[in-house]
């Protein structure tokens, strides 16, 4: 039986926010005054066993959920502009989902010895020295990372696999908005995390992931103006996915048809390719404007043709399969260990469409049981 002394008020707030409830809304569900919810969450009023039981029923979490240690994390500072646009309620729910998925990942990692021989570097622009003494630029930083990961000049076949193969973990999410497609975090003692809205189109996921990778490389040791950080992350994404040395020769006669051909080859949106062509000096302002007018007339600003296949994260699935195949967990036991129901487990961690049939198959590379 749990001890009420170990009740974590932060987990109560997190559970409430994950269900999209305000304090007033939760109070109605519990049949208590809003002040009661507020005082318990602020630590002014101790919980009762009845309150914990009612919280479990209202929020659909197991009792142990509210007795976990630790605290939730907020959004990184470089997401400030998009955060302002989103609105308080959907933003709060999204941050709660990220925190719960992070907590799940921490629980799954506890039973395994997860190691990677590679890592996502942090570049300090004040101490940066590239090849042949090159000074810091975003373009050089993107090229440096490709060299560090030994990526050739051509298209990146699978960006999710590349990130996860170099120490990151991509966590599939459903953010239910089109303002934020991904969020990245560096947290002590954990792999670099990328929370990705898998409801977005595949080419947008790739670009957004590369954008977040730029933040992790450029902006965890150096914080600058919000708008400048966003601009640098955009520039990094273009340079990382479309390196100048690899794409320059294909931009000499750039038009809509060429953009469509390049999209199929590079798996990057036509709009992003046009922006890269502009940055590399292949478009005049008039050509750039005409290109996007054409895109708009054809409806391509909302939905482009030639969508690449979606790249699904594998590490989370590996960890889940590892627990079942190596540690002998049933799905019910695994969902219990994460303090959620089996039905919610299925909703949060479905197998990707291209996963092999059957339960928990052949993943688990780099995972070992902790004895």
Model pLDDT for residues 189-205, shown as the tens digit of each residue: 899 999 999 989 999 99
Would you state the pLDDT for residue 224?
79
Confidence band of 180 (pLDDT split at 50, 70, 90): confident
Distance CA 31, CA 96 (A): 23
Q: Which long-range contacts (CB under 8 A, 24 or more apart) does 345-350 make?
A: 348/101, 348/104, 349/316, 349/317, 349/320
Give the torsion sign (CA, 92, 9, 33, 28).
positive
75-84 per-position pLDDT tens digit: 876 665 566 6
> Tokens 């959920």 label which residue?
65
Task: Choose which CATH entry (3.40.50.620, 1.10.8.190, 3.40.50.300, 1.10.260.40) describes domain 1-72.
Answer: 1.10.260.40
* Section 283-289 average pLDDT: 96
Would you state the pLDDT for residue 281?
96
Would you state the pLDDT for residue 299?
97
Cβ 66 vs Cβ 32: under 8 Å: no
Distance CA 216, CA 123 (A): 9
Flag whether pLDDT at 135 surpasses 90. no
Flag whether pLDDT at 371 surpasses 50. no
Mean pLDDT of the chain: 90
Six-digit token pair at 94?
């999204």
Confidence band of 353 (pLDDT split at 50, 70, 90): low
Closest CA to 155 of 231, 215, 280, 245: 245
Would you state the pLDDT for residue 355?
58
* Section 240-256 average pLDDT: 95
Confidence band of 363 (pLDDT split at 50, 70, 90): very low
Comparing 121-135, 208-222, 347-361, which segment has the lowest mean pLDDT? 347-361
Can you give the pTM of this predicted structure? Answer: 0.90
Would you state the pLDDT for residue 365?
42
Flag whether pLDDT at 271 surpasses 80. yes
């Amino acid at each position: 039986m749990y001890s009420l002394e170990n009740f974590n008020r932060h987990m109560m707030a997190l559970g409430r926010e994950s269900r999209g409830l305000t304090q007033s809304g939760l109070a109605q569900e519990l049949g208590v005054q809003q002040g009661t919810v507020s005082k318990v969450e602020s630590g002014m009023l101790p919980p009762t066993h009845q309150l914990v039981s009612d919280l479990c029923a209202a929020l659909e979490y197991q009792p142990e959920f509210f007795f976990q240690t630790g605290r939730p994390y907020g959004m990184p500072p470089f997401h400030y502009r998009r955060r302002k646009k989103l609105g308080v309620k959907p933003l709060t729910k999204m941050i709660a989902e990220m925190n719960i998925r992070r907590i799940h990942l921490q629980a799954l990692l506890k039973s395994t010895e997860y190691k990677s021989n590679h890592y996502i570097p942090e570049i300090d622009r004040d101490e940066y020295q590239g090849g042949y003494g090159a000074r810091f630029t975003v373009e050089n930083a993107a090229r440096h990372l490709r060299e560090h990961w030994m990526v050739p000049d051509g298209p990146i076949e699978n960006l999710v696999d590349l990130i996860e193969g170099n120490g990151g973990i991509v966590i599939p999410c459903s953010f239910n908005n089109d303002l934020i497609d991904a969020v990245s975090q560096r947290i002590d003692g954990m792999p670099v995390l990328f929370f990705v809205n898998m409801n977005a189109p595949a080419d947008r996921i790739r670009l957004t992931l590369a954008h977040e990778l730029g933040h992790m490389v450029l902006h965890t040791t150096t914080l600058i103006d919000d708008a400048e950080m966003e601009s640098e992350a955009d520039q990094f994404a273009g340079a990382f996915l479309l390196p100048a040395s690899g794409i320059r020769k294909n931009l000499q006669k750039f038009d809509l048809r060429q953009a469509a051909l390049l999209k199929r080859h590079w798996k990057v949106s036509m709009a992003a390719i046009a922006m890269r062509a502009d940055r590399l000096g292949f478009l005049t302002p008039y050509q750039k404007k005409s290109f996007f007018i054409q895109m708009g007339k054809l409806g391509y600003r909302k939905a482009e043709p030639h969508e690449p296949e979606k790249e699904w994260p594998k590490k989370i699935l590996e960890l889940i399969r590892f627990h079942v195949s190596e540690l002998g967990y049933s799905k019910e036991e695994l969902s219990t260990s994460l303090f959620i129901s089996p039905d919610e487990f299925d909703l949060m961690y479905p197998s990707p469409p291209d996963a092999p049939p059957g339960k928990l198959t052949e993943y688990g590379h780099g995972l070992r049981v902790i004895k």
